[in-house]
């Protein structure tokens, strides 16, 4: 039972990683342009030319991230109702891991929403 919570924490970290990739590929370039930092964006692209290649696939990256976040949310929600061990140390570790998973997941969702906002919605109004 305790091992499933550790896996839940790993899924939270994976969700954070995928949502961060959405932020890097799509939201940061849009943010730089929105705040008038085009020269900074050009400098970043000059240093990391892979951003242009990655940006071509932003829709696929966003859809993949949404799928991963949905699956991670379902697994973290399901793990929330699993029993923790009776031993105090293991129970405390179990509860701590569950809380960390939820925090990581909510942070990942926040990153994904902000990245999607800057990538797809904000450019329509600028």
Note the pLDDT tens digit of each residue in 84-110: 888 999 899 888 888 888 888 888 888
Show me where the domains of the chain are located: 2-125
**Model pTM above 0.85:** no
Give the dihedral sign, CA 116/114/81/72: positive
Residue in the block written with tokens 């964006």: 41
pLDDT of residue 19: 72
Q: Which two tokens stand for residue 28?
A: 């940061």
Instruction: For residue 89, count CB atoms less than 10 angstroms from its CB and return exposed for 0-12, middle for 13-18, buried for 19 or more.
Output: exposed
* Spatial separation of the C-alpha atoms in residues 37 and 41, rounded to whole Å: 6
| Residue 1 reports pLDDT greater than 50 | no
* Spatial separation of the C-alpha atoms in residues 54 and 45, rounded to whole Å: 11
| Residue 4 reports pLDDT greater than 70 | no
* Spatial separation of the C-alpha atoms in residues 2 and 118, rounded to whole Å: 39
Q: Which two tokens stand for residue 3?
A: 């091992």
């Amino acid at each position: 039972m305790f091992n499933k919570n550790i896996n839940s924490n790993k899924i939270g970290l994976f969700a954070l990683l995928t949502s961060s990739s959405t932020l890097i590929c799509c939201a940061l370039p849009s943010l730089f342009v929105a705040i008038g930092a085009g020269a900074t964006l050009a400098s970043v692209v000059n240093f990391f030319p892979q951003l242009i290649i990655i940006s071509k696939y932003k829709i696929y990256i966003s859809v993949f991230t949404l799928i991963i976040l949905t699956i991670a949310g379902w697994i973290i929600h399901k793990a929330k109702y699993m029993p923790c061990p009776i031993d105090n140390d293991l129970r405390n570790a179990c509860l701590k891991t569950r809380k960390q998973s939820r925090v990581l997941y909510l942070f990942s969702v926040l990153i994904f929403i902000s990245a999607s906002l800057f990538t797809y919605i904000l450019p329509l109004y600028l």
